[in-house]
Amino acid sequence: MIILGSAFVLAATVCGSVFLGIKSGIALLLTGIVLLAIFIVYTRKRYKKIERMNDYLVKVLAENDDGEIMDQEEGELSILKSNLYKTTSTLKYQKELLTNDKINLAAALADISHQLKTPLTSMMVMNDLLMDEQDESKRNEFLKTQSSQLDRMNWLIQTLLKLSKLDAGTVVLKKEDVSAEEIIEEAIKPFEIQLELRNISFEKDVFPADIRCDKNWTVEAIQNIFKNCIEHMDNGGKLFVTLSDTNIFTQVTIKDTGCGIASEDLPHVFERFYKGKNAGKDSVGIGLALSKTIIEGEQGEIKVESTEGEGTRFIIKFYKTLI
């Protein structure tokens, strides 16, 4: 373009000198030189900016970016800079998320393998003992222990599958109006025999009210909370469920008279595979994590309050409209 511009200026100068006189030719020459100079300076400036953007992208690709390319100027290159910066910032953020996901996945796999290894080892030992044991009563005891370990493994695997489906977004949580009392009745039903054997009383203070949620998954979430409460109560304890209603949400409160949660463990109650100092020996640490994932997936809210030695209270809010 500079060559073409120079040729055009030269041609204009010659034509101006021939047809309009020497002074006109000189004026055309000076004007052409000034315009070419402005064009050259402006073009070099643009190329430097483009080169800066290219260097920035090279640094980003080399993963050693230590600056940014934003400025306060106007124009199409500044718009391009802004969009490049937004794009690279988004990519870096996504990369950080992927890195964290890999770390979390590795930790989760380690926890899962540890949780499965313990019952598997126990079952292998029991199996070896069964092969040589002749005493019928001991054989029955070993079989009962194996059955218990199988139940534990089955529960762990099923819970992990549910969590993975929720994490992957392959589960669509339906929204329908369901009776709160019906959900509570279904959630407590699997524990009725255990409550009776351990002399744990179950009391509820509910009234006719609907919760907008996915019935099956909500029952699953509340069952895990009941399970946690029962596991941390001594024989003869009490389990309470109360219901309250506002214009904004319906609240389900579950309270027990168990051992409570230590203050240092309270912020981590809903973390996966976290086990506090009061956790049972067979605790895995994913039941409450599943409950939280389900309830938050329904745009609900769950929190826990506890006093060590007195008991724990879980507060679940099901919002009537999205907030």
b/e sequence 34-52, b meaning 16+ C-beta within 10 Å: eebeeeeeeeeeeeebeee
For the ranges 66-80, 117-131, 151-165, 288-302, the lowest mean pLDDT is seen at 66-80
Is the predicted pLDDT of residue 165 greater than 80, yes or no? no
The CATH class that applies to domain 107-168 reads mainly alpha
- Per-residue pLDDT at 315 exceeds 90: yes
Reported confidence tier of residue 71, pLDDT bands at 50, 70, 90: low
Q: How confident is the model at residue 99 (pLDDT cuts 50, 70, 90)?
A: confident
- Distance (Å) of CA 57 to CA 43, 44, 71, 75, 280: 21, 20, 16, 20, 53
Rounded to an integer, the average pLDDT of 39-66 is 76
- For 203, the token pair is 């009391």
Q: Report pLDDT digits (tens) over 22-34.
A: 777 777 778 878 8
Helices and strands in the chain, H and E counts: 8, 7
Question: Which of 1-5, 42-46, 258-262, 302-306 is most confident?
Answer: 302-306
Question: Which tokens in the block code for residue 58?
Answer: 């090279």
Q: What is the sign, positive or negative, of the torsion defined by CA atoms of 246, 227, 170, 86?
A: positive
Sketch the domain layout of the chain as residue ranges: 2-67, 107-168, 176-319
Tens of pLDDT along 109-159? 776 776 677 677 777 877 877 777 777 787 787 787 778 778 777 877 887
- pLDDT of 52 higher than 70: yes
Please give the pLDDT value at position 283: 63
Mean pLDDT, range 150-178, rounded to an integer: 79
Q: Which of 228, 231, 205, 209 is CA-nearest to residue 291?
A: 228
- Alpha-helical (H) ranges within 62-204 are 76-132, 136-168, 180-188, 192-197
2 has a pLDDT exceeding 90: no
- Mean predicted lDDT score pLDDT of the chain: 80
Residue 209 clears pLDDT 80, i.e. is over it: yes
Separation of alpha carbons 24 and 32, rounded Å: 12
- Quickly tell me which residue has 């988004």 as its tokens: 90
Strand partners, 250: 245, 318
pLDDT at 252 over 60: yes
Distance CA(82)–CA(70), nearest Å, equals: 6
Write the pLDDT tens digit of every residue in 253-269.
999 988 888 888 888 88
Q: Domain 176-319 falls in which CATH fold?
A: Heat Shock Protein 90 (3.30.565)
Is residue 160 very low, low, confident or very high in pLDDT (cuts 50, 70, 90)? confident
Q: Cα(52)–Cα(78) distance, rounded to whole angstroms?
A: 12
Q: How far apart are CA 317 and CA 4, in angstroms?
A: 74
Q: How far apart are CA 313 and CA 251, in angstroms?
A: 12
pLDDT of residue 279: 65
Q: 107-168 with 176-319: one CATH topology?
A: no
pLDDT at 277 (0 to 100): 66
E strand or H helix at 319, and its extent? strand 311-319
Is residue 323 pLDDT above 60, yes or no?
no
Instruction: Give me the pLDDT at residue 282, please.
Output: 60
Q: Is the pLDDT of residue 294 over 80?
A: yes
Split at pLDDT 50, 70, 90, the class of 281 is low
Per-residue pLDDT, averaged over 90-117, amounts to 75
Residue 75: the pLDDT is 64
Residues 193, 212: Cα–Cα separation, whole Å: 30
List C-alpha distances in Å: 19 to 23, 25, 109. 11, 9, 88
**Do 219 and 294 touch, CB atoms closer than 8 A?**
no
Average pLDDT (264-290) is: 75
The residue among 152, 123, 166, 264 whose CA lies nearest residue 275 is 264
- The share of the chain scoring above pLDDT 70, in percent, equals 89
